[in-house]
Amino acid sequence: MVPGFRDEVGVAVDVMRGFALSMKKKEVKKNKPSLSEPARRSFLNKLLVGLGIIAILEFAGLVMAYLRPKKRQTTSGDIETIVVAGHVESFPVNSVTAFVRGKFYLCRMEDGGFLAVSRKCTHLGCTVPWVDKEKKFACPCHGSTFDITGEVISPPASRALDIYPLFIENQMVKVNTGKQIKRSGFRKDQAVYPKKA
Ligand code: FES
């Protein structure tokens, strides 16, 4: 081969090889994933996991709040309906005291227990007066009578007079007139007893 031609061919080969090499490098560089891509994916994955955990915690919190028994709190409505009747000692045993504002009678039984009895007859709703001489409630409308506990003595009323929740705080008798309790008859656990000093 002619020496000059050989050199020229060698140069051309070198140029071609250099070009191929640079193309290859470019191709490798092009196909190589950018460094920020995995980082971005990792960030998104962590973000999704974090959001998922927050959603689960919030859901669990809602379920717990729903299932948790609610504490009974005294509302302003309760305060308005509570009538302070007086000190336990101001009500002798076997006595009935009328509270016109609260529409109830405070009955203190023979054994010292208290009951707040509605003055409304359970037959047709007439107001029932206490007849102290006879120690009974006597309805003027159709003649029903009730004893000091509100239990029916004679019909047509078929069930005992309603009662109101009653409690004793610091020896003071208090009645919640906002809640009327219906009952078929008297039971001893309906009465409230003052604590012995
Ligand atoms: S309303 Fe009292 S007996 Fe009828």
Pocket test for ligand 1, best of 118, 119, 120, 121 (most atoms within 8 A of CB): 121
Please state which of the ranges 58-67, 113-122, 130-139, 141-150 shows the lowest mean pLDDT: 58-67
Say if CB 150 and CB 137 are below 8 A apart: yes
96: β partners: 107
Digit-coded pLDDT (tens) for 19-47: 556 555 655 555 555 557 777 788 788 88
Give the other-Cβ count within 10 Å of 38's Cβ. Answer: 10
Q: Where are the domains of the chain?
A: 3-67, 76-190
- Find out whether the beta carbon of 123 lies less than 6 Å from any atom of ligand 1: yes
How many Å lie between the centroid of ligand 1 and the Cα of residue 159?
A: 11
Ligand 1 in reach of 124 Cβ (< 6 A): yes
The answer, yes or no, to whether any atom of ligand 1 lies below 6 A from the CB of 121, is yes
Gap between the Cα atoms of 26 and 47, Å rounded = 34
Say what percent of the chain tops pLDDT 70. Answer: 74
Higher pLDDT, 127 or 10: 127
User: What is the whole-number distance in angstroms between the Cα of residue 154 and the centre of ligand 1?
Assistant: 11
Is the confidence at residue 124, as pLDDT, over 70?
yes
* Domain at 76-190, CATH homologous superfamily: Rieske [2Fe-2S] iron-sulphur domain (2.102.10.10)
Q: Between 28 and 66, where is the model more confident? A: 66
CA-proximal residue: ligand 1, atom 1 (nearest)? 124
pTM above 0.85, yes or no: no
Q: How far apart are CA 156 and CA 152, in angstroms?
A: 9
Nearest to 177 by CA among 76, 105, 97, 81: 81
38 vs 126 pLDDT, higher one: 126
Q: Of all atoms in ligand 1, which is nearest to the CA of residue 156?
A: 3
Closest CA to 180 of 128, 85, 104: 104
CA of 23 to the centre of ligand 1 (A): 110
Distance (angstroms) between ligand 1 centre and the Cα of 161 equals 11
Tokens 């470019």 correspond to: 26
All residues at 6 or more sequence positions from 16 whose CB lies less than 8 Å from its CB, including other chains: none
Q: What is the pLDDT of residue 134?
A: 94
Index of the ligand 1 atom closest to the CA of residue 143 = 3
Ligand 1: which of 122, 144, 154 to mutate, judged by most atoms within 8 Å of the beta carbon? 144
